[in-house]
Amino acid sequence: MVPTRLILCLVLFFLMSFSAASFAEVRVGFVDIPFLIDKAPQAIEASARLEAQFAPRQQSLKEQRDELNELKKEFEKESLVMSPEKRVQAEQDIRSFER
C-alpha cells in the first residue's frame, strides 16, 4: 500500500510541476515613452491648444524683433552722419526698445 501511495504522490507532484502555467510563453516588452507622448491624442490636442494660445504672442515677438533689427541697421547706416544729439537719442531708443 505504501509504494502505491508513494507512486501516486510522485505522479501527482510530477503532473502539477508541469502545469499549463509553466508552459506559458514569456513575453518581454519595451515601451517607447517619447513616441507615446508625441503620438498620444491627448498630447496632440494639448499641443494644438498651446499653439493656438501662444501663436499671437509669438507673432508679436517676431514682429518686434524684426523692427528692432531694422532700427539697428538704420542706426548703423546713419550714425556717421547724425548729429551727436540725434545719435544719443537713437541709441536710447534702441536700448529702450530692447527692454
Report in angstroms the alpha-carbon separations of 25 from 12, 21, 29, 30.
Answer: 23, 9, 13, 16
Question: Is 9 contained in some domain?
Answer: no
Q: How far apart are CA 68 and CA 89, in angstroms?
A: 15
Question: Is 75 contained in some domain?
Answer: yes
Question: Is 8 contained in some domain?
Answer: no
Question: Is 12 contained in some domain?
Answer: no
In total, how many domains does the chain have? 1
Question: Is 80 contained in some domain?
Answer: yes
What pLDDT score was predicted for residue 55? 95
- With cut-offs at 50, 70 and 90, classify the pLDDT of residue 12: confident
Residue range 61-93, pLDDT digits in tens: 999 999 989 988 988 888 888 888 888 888 888
Q: How far apart are CA 24 and CA 19, in angstroms?
A: 9
Could you tell me the pTM of the whole model?
0.51
Question: Is 61 contained in some domain?
Answer: yes
Question: Is 20 contained in some domain?
Answer: no
Which residue range forms the structural domain that includes residue 81?
43-99
Question: Is 94 contained in some domain?
Answer: yes
Residue range 17-70, pLDDT digits in tens: 766 566 667 777 888 888 888 888 998 999 999 999 999 999 999 999 999 899
